[in-house]
A and B are shown apart, each in its own frame.
Chain A
């Protein structure tokens, strides 16, 4: 009973993440890779992502503090960050990264700052949501998910 409820909650939460655009199709790919031999694969990947990308974010922040801004470097850092984010399916984060890169290419320092802040917000939000999601999911065991988001 309870388990069913939790099951449902997990499913709903998952669906809402898709609906709200926090995650995308790529996340489903990860889910599909998860199996009995590796039942926490998705969570591991996301954890790895957050750990590794923290470093990148710090670098970007440092670079943004410099004056004048080194757009090439910023772009390159963000390129890497974007790659990671897109590989876990972090949609909004990826979108903001793209935006950031556009500003870099245009040499728009202001725009870079703004979009970086925005990106960070999304990044943190996603992290929280995913943490909640994983916690819940752990309670119900392997999800019968992998249903494509509508």
Chain B
């Protein structure tokens, strides 16, 4: 076999994609296929050509990496076999996804021996950043839609980058770009995405230049070994405390500068966030998962991918991927240990459907909405949360605190505005394998769907492979909570909620009810109503999470009143908030329900979600996530009210100890 890459078509580095391809998109999509089996390679190549894509093939992972690095913008998507002798397919995946920000699709054989094997393989792919999983033998129908991953990813990344950059740098750079880029509609922006991509790339370069601040440094190539050292250093320091300077010291690589590390760290953080559940951008997704899970969720395992799927499902994914996933026999979430359930309780919460945001849960990851079948979440009527459920939630929150980092992401999830959220994988456990920050946003299945922002159709489909399309695009704006990877520390987790006007499109909630678990988790999205958030724009920063004020609703009330308090609804509630390690009444997690300004917020507070949310409700957008325990009737009334736009804001969230006191509507 020739070790080199065969180029089916030229790698047109000179091609200005935006010029040529826009009209014909997805024709001309530049795909890199990596597979050590020449027969498969030839077949897939032919299939892709038939789809009018530009194909480059490689039979070795190293050559693939080399060509990717040599021509960073030369490809739009990568399809890689997971089983390759010369390099671990997953490592390649990680490198590509992390360093190059390309969507990667895994391919592999159907698990033969047991469903678990298949699931594990798929899950592993997901945790390493794969956005889909194709079962061999690959069929052309499955290849026809791979372009969606590219679009989705670009959109999300764009937003992500925008958010993080603006947060970190004051956003001046990004701002200009954000103005130009209109991501409001996901699929329609195809035309834009390329130009955005270019802009983004330019932006990256700009950033690099700024980093170096003076002279242009030669670009550092992050090889496998270097990246490993980096990861080791980060893990040693702890993701919270990993600052470029210290990482640099630990790595002790001559010639590496702090700026190099800093930019790589930024990408790595984005990557982690993505893994954890794609929160943030995904917007709703994160939020949802938290709450909705039914206790039965299997521990976080796996679901991240599925969640994503769920999200994808909810929003945009075509069923195909899901079916693929199914094929992968992604078995239902077998509860994995670990955090399980923080979200699980959420289920109950979700039953709320509306507001449950389990913010914070972001990390939850996996709470797998467990029950794959159960997902009952919200069947429209919030189920009353039993006290113990709350306790569970509480636990989960605590778990979440462990999670941290991604918490921020969860915020985004929750916050989503309006985007309906993700249907927690209904059925499929949102397994988040403990991913760091795995925000699994699993949507909150707001069953209400109605008022609440679209419901995310549960992803029940996720059962199958985890290959979720990662970037779930849910609404366009997802709060940038990302910028705070580890909210953990500050108690009040102020998560950014991005305000974004409801642009978010709420992912479709197709009621996936049928699908597995039946749970479609209505994305609690009250968000729809929350659209009001519009005014919120990224104000995340200002959010002063007022979480800390636990237990008293007063704090909430107070917060509610003043806009200044900036609500953050973090959807995923950054771990920081989650951490409410203070168990029992202590943890107050303020989840801001995003977007919903005012009124909706109250609705958001799902009774089920007992998050002690101290959240500060911004008058503007009250994204308060209240996990209040509403009695069913109360909840209903609340919901109904909200529907009418009358958001009874219950200032008295008694976040303490989950007492589901009814929130007065």
- Chain A interface (Cβ < 8 Å from any Cβ of B): 26, 29-30, 32-33, 38, 41, 44-45, 48-49, 52-53, 76, 79-80, 82-84, 86-89, 98, 101-102, 105
- B-side contacts of A83, CB under 8 Å: 37, 40, 83, 109, 136
Give residues 35-55 of B contacting A (CB, 8 Å).
36-40, 42-43, 46-47, 50
In the assembled complex, the CB of A34 is this many whole angstroms from the nearest CB of chain B, namely 9
Whole-angstrom CA separation of A83 from B36 in the bound complex: 11
Q: Which of B39, B109, B112, B138 contacts A45 (CB 8 A)?
A: B39
Are A32 and B140 neighbours in the complex by a CB distance under 8 Å?
yes
Query: What are 5 A-to-B residue pairs whose CB atoms are below 8 Å?
Result: A29-B47, A32-B140, A41-B46, A87-B136, A101-B113
Give residues 128-169 of B contacting A (CB, 8 Å).
136-140
Are B43 and A87 neighbours in the complex by a CB distance under 8 Å?
yes
Are B113 and A87 neighbours in the complex by a CB distance under 8 Å?
no
In the assembled complex, the CB of B149 is this many whole angstroms from the nearest CB of chain A, namely 22
Are A87 and B46 neighbours in the complex by a CB distance under 8 Å?
no
- B-side contacts of A30, CB under 8 Å: 43
Give residues 367-408 of B contacting A (CB, 8 Å).
none
For chain B, give the interface size range.
20 to 34
Given contacts A83-B37, A87-B137, 11 further A-B contacts (CB under 8 A): A29-B139, A33-B47, A33-B50, A80-B83, A80-B85, A84-B39, A84-B40, A87-B43, A87-B136, A87-B138, A101-B112
- A-side contacts of B113, CB under 8 Å: 101-102, 105
Are A87 and B112 neighbours in the complex by a CB distance under 8 Å?
no
Are B36 and A87 neighbours in the complex by a CB distance under 8 Å?
no
- A-side contacts of B83, CB under 8 Å: 76, 79-80, 83
- B-side contacts of A89, CB under 8 Å: 137
A89 — nearest CB in chain B belongs to which residue? Answer: B137
- B-side contacts of A26, CB under 8 Å: 137, 139
Whole-angstrom CA separation of A68 from B485 in the bound complex: 51
Instruction: Rank and list the top 7 A-B pairs by shortest CB-CB distance, nearest first.
Output: A87-B137, A49-B39, A84-B39, A26-B137, A86-B137, A87-B40, A33-B46
Whole-angstrom CA separation of A113 from B524 in the bound complex: 57
Q: Which of A33, A82, A102 contacts B43 (CB 8 A)?
A: A33
- B-side contacts of A102, CB under 8 Å: 112-113
Are A87 and B140 neighbours in the complex by a CB distance under 8 Å?
no
Are B40 and A33 neighbours in the complex by a CB distance under 8 Å?
no
Are B37 and A52 neighbours in the complex by a CB distance under 8 Å?
yes
Are A45 and B37 neighbours in the complex by a CB distance under 8 Å?
no
Are A79 and B140 neighbours in the complex by a CB distance under 8 Å?
no
Are A52 and B109 neighbours in the complex by a CB distance under 8 Å?
no
Whole-angstrom CA separation of A41 from B40 in the bound complex: 13
Whole-angstrom CA separation of A29 from B139 in the bound complex: 7
B45 — nearest CB in chain A belongs to which residue? Answer: A33
Are B37 and A84 neighbours in the complex by a CB distance under 8 Å?
yes
A48 — nearest CB in chain B belongs to which residue? Answer: B39
Q: A33-B46, A105-B113 are in contact. Are A87 and B139 (CB under 8 A)?
A: no
B139 — nearest CB in chain A belongs to which residue? Answer: A29
- A-side contacts of B112, CB under 8 Å: 98, 101-102
In the assembled complex, the CB of B87 is this many whole angstroms from the nearest CB of chain A, namely 14
In the assembled complex, the CB of A36 is this many whole angstroms from the nearest CB of chain B, namely 12
- A-side contacts of B50, CB under 8 Å: 33
- A-side contacts of B43, CB under 8 Å: 30, 33, 45, 87-88
In the assembled complex, the CB of B337 is this many whole angstroms from the nearest CB of chain A, namely 25
Whole-angstrom CA separation of A83 from B85 in the bound complex: 14
In the assembled complex, the CB of B31 is this many whole angstroms from the nearest CB of chain A, namely 16
In the assembled complex, the CB of A105 is this many whole angstroms from the nearest CB of chain B, namely 6
- B-side contacts of A105, CB under 8 Å: 113
- A-side contacts of B36, CB under 8 Å: 80
Are B39 and A29 neighbours in the complex by a CB distance under 8 Å?
no
In the assembled complex, the CB of B198 is this many whole angstroms from the nearest CB of chain A, namely 32
Whole-angstrom CA separation of A76 from B82 in the bound complex: 12
Are A86 and B46 neighbours in the complex by a CB distance under 8 Å?
no
A26 — nearest CB in chain B belongs to which residue? Answer: B137
- A-side contacts of B85, CB under 8 Å: 80
- A-side contacts of B137, CB under 8 Å: 26, 29, 86-87, 89
Whole-angstrom CA separation of A89 from B50 in the bound complex: 19
Tell which of B85, B109, B139 has the most Cβ of chain A within 10 Å.
Answer: B109
Whole-angstrom CA separation of A133 from B154 in the bound complex: 47
Q: Which of A38, A41, A44, A86 contacts B109 (CB 8 A)?
A: A86
A99 — nearest CB in chain B belongs to which residue? Answer: B112
- B-side contacts of A41, CB under 8 Å: 46
Are A48 and B42 neighbours in the complex by a CB distance under 8 Å?
yes
Whole-angstrom CA separation of A86 from B136 in the bound complex: 7
Are B38 and A82 neighbours in the complex by a CB distance under 8 Å?
no
Are B37 and A88 neighbours in the complex by a CB distance under 8 Å?
no
Whole-angstrom CA separation of A80 from B109 in the bound complex: 9
Give residues 578-599 of B contacting A (CB, 8 Å).
none
Give residues 49-71 of B contacting A (CB, 8 Å).
50
